[in-house]
Structures are given as structure tokens and as C-alpha cells.
Amino acid sequence: MAILVPIAIVNLSACANSAEKRRDAAIHPTYDRQTGKLTQLAYDSDHDGRLDTWTDMDGTKPLRTRIDRNGDGKIDRWEEYDASGALVKVGFSRRDDGKADAWISSRRDDAIERIEISSTANEQKIDRWEYYDSSKAGRDGKGALVRAEEDTRGDGKPHKWETYRDGALETVAFDEDGDGVADRRFSYRAAALILIESHPDRSGRFTVRTEVNDRAGRSASSHDP
């Protein structure tokens, strides 16, 4: 899970060699005036003279971190830690507008990672869920997108389902009446529509298949009793 490597926790220990002295000079601690307790560490992680990483601290315990990784003055990564200081959640900004709009939670027991996305940058209003298979990670270290769900009605439940194969959209299904069951499913091969299924029975199984047979779009329907 390369995306969850904590990059903000910095080493405060006294150090001897010059590289580490430089690193210490890049760290700016803030202490509570009343209690003397450490409340924040600000850090210039790439040594360009500008702070880019801010960690809220409860003494020695990190609570959360805001990071401007590309140095444009806008936060683009948010990290949250649990009571033991372990990284549990990472937020990032898909639009790169300084607001978190997607979150990934750390789950070490599973090859499938879920990213929660909010089109309104509201962590309480997640409306898209993307599932990545980290066992099929590409060169960039990111897992392969295998499926996604989307809440197109704002009720917190998915009404659109997508599946992917080798990075390409394979199927997309829509719930047209809002009951949470897909009413129509489109299947694609090499970006071409090949099949439309509709009329789900009570179990959600589609009973009508319309195969799109040729480039002219001629099609043939079959009904499942």
C-alpha cells in the first residue's frame, strides 16, 4: 500500500552528521505557552526553504498532518493517525484546489483498497467509491481500478455500478428508479458497446438481453422467461 507510507513523521532526535543537522534546521516546533507541550511540528521536507508539512501534535503523539507536496501553497494531502500514532486515513484533493475530496483508509488485511470520493469535497457526503486491486499494481505503484459505485441521487446509496478490466470500462449498470437495484446494464469490449441487459427479475437478474452485433449498431433482443 504505497500510498499510505507516512511521510510526515519526522525524527526529532539529536543527531551528529551534517545531513541530519540540516534536517533538524528544517523543523519548526510550536509549544503550548501554558503547558510547554509540543502542539505542532512544521517541516520543510524538500529543503527548498518553504514549509510544506504541518503535523498537529499532542506532546510526542502525532494527531494529523497537512502536506503541500507540490509546493503550490495549497494543501494536497491530509493524514490522520490513531492513538498509537499509526497512519489510518489519507485524504487527497483530486481537483488540487486545497480541499480534500477523496479519502483512503488503511486496511492491511485486504488486497482491495477503497477510495471514498465526495464530488462536493464533503467528507460526510461520500458519493463515489472506487475499488483498487493492489495485487495488480501498475508502474506508478497504484493498484488497478477494478470497480466503482456512485450515488447519483444523493441518498448515500449507490445507483450506478462500473466494472473495469485491464483499466478499461467493462460494464456499467444504472438504477433508474432509485430502489437500489440495477435496471439496465451496458457491456463493452474494446470500448464498443456489445450488450444491453434490462428488466431485472426479483432477484436482480436481467431477463432481456439485447446484443449489439455489428458496427452499424444492428441488434437482436432475446427474452429470458
Using the contact rule CB under 5 A, the part of the chain among 1-9, 36-44, 136-144, 147-155 near Ca ion is: 36-44
- Tell me if 101 contacts Ca ion by CB under 5 A: no
According to DSSP, the residues that pair with 184 across neighbouring strands are 174, 198
**Nine-digit cell string for 210:** 439485447
Q: How far is the CB of 160 from Ca ion (least distance, A)?
A: 11
**CB-nearer residue toward Ca ion: 68 or 150:** 68
- Tell me if 68 contacts Ca ion by CB under 5 A: yes
**Site residues for Ca ion, window 38-67 (CB under 5 A)?**
44, 46, 48, 50, 52
Report the chain's C-alpha Rg in angstroms: 24
Q: What is the biggest distance separating any 2 CA atoms in the chain, rounded to whole angstroms?
A: 79
Q: How far is the CB of 55 from Ca ion (least distance, A)?
A: 14
- Tell me if 76 contacts Ca ion by CB under 5 A: yes
**CB-nearer residue toward Ca ion: 145 or 159:** 159
Report d(CA 118, CA 124) in Å as an integer: 8
How far, in Å, are 11, 114, 159, 186, 189 from residue 207 at the CA level? 61, 31, 19, 14, 21
**CB-nearer residue toward Ca ion: 58 or 72:** 72
Q: Is 170 exposed, middle or buried (0-12, 13-18, 19+ CB in 10 A)?
A: middle
**Site residues for Ca ion, window 115-174 (CB under 5 A)?**
none
Q: Is the Cβ–Cβ distance between 76 and 67 less than 8 Å?
A: yes
- Tell me if 201 contacts Ca ion by CB under 5 A: no
Question: 30-39, long-range: CB within 8 Å, 24+ apart, which pairs?
Answer: none
Binding mask 172-191 for Ca ion (x = CB under 5 A): ---x-x-x-x-x--------
Q: Is the Cβ–Cβ distance between 29 and 40 less than 8 Å?
A: yes
- Tell me if 197 contacts Ca ion by CB under 5 A: no
Query: Which residue among 61, 74, 125, 189 contacts Ca ion (CB under 5 A)?
Result: 74
Binding site for Ca ion (CB under 5 A): 44, 46, 48, 50, 52, 68, 70, 72, 74, 76, 175, 177, 179, 181, 183
